[in-house]
Structure 1
Amino acid sequence: MGVTANSVWNNCLVFINDNIQPQAFKTWFEPIKPVKLTDNALSIQVPSKFFYEWLEEHYVKLLKVALTKELGETAKLVYVIRMENTYGNKEPFTEKIPSSNRGTMGSQEMDVPVKSKNPQLKNPFVIPGIRNIKIESQLNPNYNFDNFLEGDSNRLARSAGMAVANKPGGTSFNPLLVFGGVGLGKTHLAHAIGVEIKDKYPERTVLYISAEKFTQQYIESVKKNTRNDFIHFYQLIDVLIIDDVQFLSGKSGTQDVFFHIFNHLHQNGKQVILTSDKAPVDMQDIEQRLLSRFKWGLSAELQNPDYETRVSILKNKLYRDGVEMPEDIIDYVAKNIKSNIRELEGAVISLIAQSSFNKKEVTLELAQQVVEKFVKNTKREVSIEYIQKVVSDYFEMDVATLQSKTRKRHIVQARQLAMFFAKKLTKASLASIGSQIGKRDHATVLHACKTVDNLAETDKQFRKYIEDLRKKLS
């Protein structure tokens, strides 16, 4: 069999995968597609220009070694950038750029740049002197990087946040979308990036706003017939931070106006930072064209902190508040409150308050009482593994059968029920549920949930299954 672009690139990937972190591999190498191999030059397709710049800045040596191993010293690498046009024109455009590494990896010329057909749109509503208006950033200086502690659960998001703060608008992370469950630090990280940028680049206009407030402002502008001023104002921002972007679900007018603001900022090299309680793939009632914009940069998940990170967070909180607490009590709290950071800090505040009000020393017994209250008040989140076990037992099959590829009706229904309850009872993304229940994709999970909802309305026996399983899982 001859050497093909696919075989060369697959061999390169094996080498690259061995030499970098799994998360980095997933983010930067999985989306790449090999295009063609001609005269010892491998063309690879990358999703955006930012993506190409990031690879060139951080991974060019690794790419060079991998490619030289496959094709010898005369190897060349050409990037093909394929992206959608921002305004109207549906036809994507491509440009080819040889790798800039001055060694054997190709010349520095651009190959065939095909420019976008649309010139940049001029804003006809220029308001004289508006640049002189001081825009308050609405940032909270207490939410900074110093007190956003790094751990396995947030490393990717934090590092990306730092990269954006050092070079707003100049990295591949545009937009940077940070997503995760309640109380895991999304808002904290968004503020921290803004605070750091203001510190490094005082002349840049940074604005933090919740999606809810953005929507209210937009509605107000439509009422007062000042929609164009509203758009123009947002187009002046250098760094726009929008919190809880999932709030735009179903609000088509606001989505439309945000789409145009986003495009303008992105085209002009301005930075957009978004937070959401779910991954783009799980967002419902958000227009496809906007979702595709969200995926242009990086989506980084904040997960539940592991034990070591929880201990660090507690110690940091106590240190900042000038309070000392015995190690065994810190350890007890960290072991027992796993849900999120907000509750972890809440438990410590509660402990300190209890001891100072009652003039009691902080003892293990007091810690047990406080933690018990916290754990009792938070609904225990069941794991996907546990859900699969309960469903399998109920239908008298083993988990391997539930996950198998078989299309037998009763097994398919059991699998769909497991997916349905995983979506209902956990904060896991659809993609994550699918991969844990027999390596399916997010579309299969979405289909399963719809099927269960439909059957619940029409099939009495199926309704009983749902009821029984709900009781077992609650």
Structure 2
Amino acid sequence: MTEGFPPDTPSAASATLWAECLDLLAQEIPEQQFNTWIRPLAARVVDDGSRVVIAVANRFKMDWIRAQYAARITALLESLHGSPVTLELALAPRETPSRTVPTARTVQDQVLAELPDVAPAEPATPSAPKSRLNPALTFANLVEGSANRMARAAAMHVAGSLGQLYNPLFIYGGVGLGKTHLVHAIGNHLLAERPNAKVLYIHAEQFVSDVVKSYQRKTFDEFKERYHSLDLLLIDDVQFFANKERTQEEFFNAFEALLAKKSHIVLTSDTYPKGLADIHERLVSRFDSGLTVAIEPPELEMRVAILINKAAAENAVMPEEVAFFVAKNVRSNVRELEGALRKILAYSRFNQKDISIQLAREALKDLLSIQNRQIGVENIQKTVADFYKIKVADMYSKKRPASIARPRQIAMFLAKELTQKSLPEIGELFGGRDHTTVLHAVRKIAGERQQNTELNQQLHVLEQTLKG
């Protein structure tokens, strides 16, 4: 027995469960976030692996882990364990003064030793699955703007009129734009009105895992009872069904069963239905049979509102001029905005300084340096030229065929969106064109993006490529 561990320390095989979960999380989560939030956690796993208690240093971190990571940690634990796992968060005991400096291992042993005793939990019955919803993600704290207004309106309609219009609701958009927040909000709204409703939020990868396990264990009756009896199924990232024939077959069956009983299905993806690769046509047609809505990258005003609201939620005041500075420099998605805000708040608290533009510039200097180095007009021109298979020289030329003029306009649009260059500066870099030409291109592409799903998807790809 390792010194410092309690007598009922879990078995080596059971303890390995948490280590394997950490390895998977390290592959999914950016290194800095992983080292800040996940690596310091100590976990205690009951012998049969059905329950895991995680020690968190303070209540702020506990709330953050619960809101941001608990659902994913649970899904990974269950996937690794092969059966339901109950995840609990507990405050780690305060350290007591000591004359000797404890080692990191000793501190962890003390944390594990003082976690509450855990007993094997009853496995959830197939007929009453846990919703897996994050109660912190609601319509009330989702900032609305033109980028998500239609998706939010459709989601609220679904939450209030289950099984009627917009079934299925298919929400698509790039990483970190709020798709997951929206589907959790639907489920939380429904449960607030109908506490007995059978609601399940699940990532597509977990559905794949459930299909595999049901075949391995010959428990398909339980699988069908679980999924076919729901009132609301919320499933994230259906693009992960690609090339998984058996999973697609079972999801099609569940889809048909749920529609037949007037249950509702809400799906998210990184692309619109017809853009999904290696998904059966009949499944794509089902995805496209309800309402398909996009969530766009947030516009400037929406980014400002998000920063101010999220700062207020952290009991901090974000001056409007600082919010505008950050919003102008962090353009891609809500997740990056949140990351920038956390850096600013931490820098402010550690240095005991009020939040200002100068402080924000210091806190974000690494991010701003990388951004300025990676995204320049020349880089945009080369990336767009490669994407549309034209010569970079065509970006500066006077040629006007559609095969060249169109990519040139897209490059101008991206230059305006992703850099701090003015319209005249952009025009100069595109062969000495007038700023009105650039303005026309920006307005034209921005307008078409709202209507043309293919163009919208191409822009998403280009933006993600440029941002690395």
Category of TM-score, reference length = shorter chain: 0.5 to 0.7
For the structure 1 residues 232 and 335, does the alpha-carbon distance in structure 2 shift closer, same or farther, using more than 3 Å as the test?
same
Structure 2 counterpart of 1:242: 235
Q: Deviations over 1:72-113 (max 9, x none)?
A: xxxxxxxxxxxxxxxxxxxxxxxxxxxxxxxxxxxxxxxxxx
For the structure 1 residues 296 and 367, does the alpha-carbon distance in structure 2 shift closer, same or farther, using more than 3 Å as the test?
same
Give the superposition deviation at 1:440: 9.9
Structure 2 counterpart of 1:349: 342
Counterpart-to-counterpart distance in 1, 2:390 and 2:212? 46
Contact 2:375 2:466 in 1 (8 A): no
The alignment status of 1:364 with 2:389, answered yes or no, reads: no
Q: What SS class does the counterpart of residue 219 from structure 1 fall into?
A: helix
Percent of aligned positions that are identical: 37
- Superposition pairs of residues 70-469 of structure 1, within 5 angstroms: 133-171=127-165, 173-377=166-370, 380=375, 387=384, 391=390, 394-395=393-394, 401-403=400-402
Letter in 1 for 2:393: Y
Unaligned stretches of 5+ residues in structure 1? 1-129, 405-410, 427-431, 450-470
For the structure 1 residues 257 and 395, does the alpha-carbon distance in structure 2 shift closer, same or farther, using more than 3 Å as the test?
same
Contact 2:177 2:295 in 1 (8 A): yes
Structure with the larger helix share: 2
Give the superposition deviation at 1:376: 4.4
TM-score by length of 2: 0.57
For the structure 1 residues 131 and 228, does the alpha-carbon distance in structure 2 shift closer, same or farther, using more than 3 Å as the test?
closer
Contact 2:127 2:229 in 1 (8 A): no
Q: What is the RMSD computed on CA atoms of the aligned residues?
A: 4.1
Letter in 2 for 1:223: Q
Q: What SS class does the counterpart of residue 401 from structure 1 fall into?
A: coil
Counterpart-to-counterpart distance in 2, 1:417 and 1:290? 36
Give the superposition deviation at 1:327: 2.3
Q: What SS class does the counterpart of residue 208 from structure 1 fall into?
A: strand
For the structure 1 residues 350 and 390, does the alpha-carbon distance in structure 2 shift closer, same or farther, using more than 3 Å as the test?
farther
Give the superposition deviation at 1:149: 1.1
Counterpart-to-counterpart distance in 2, 1:397 and 1:316? 42
Letter in 2 for 1:299: T
Contact 1:153 1:302 in 2 (8 A): yes
Unaligned stretches of 5+ residues in structure 2? 1-123, 418-443
Q: Deviations over 1:170-207 (max 9, x none)?
A: 12x11111110111001000100110011112221000
Count of residue pairs the alignment pairs up: 303
Letter in 2 for 1:141: P
Contact 2:126 2:226 in 1 (8 A): no
Structure 2 counterpart of 1:452: none
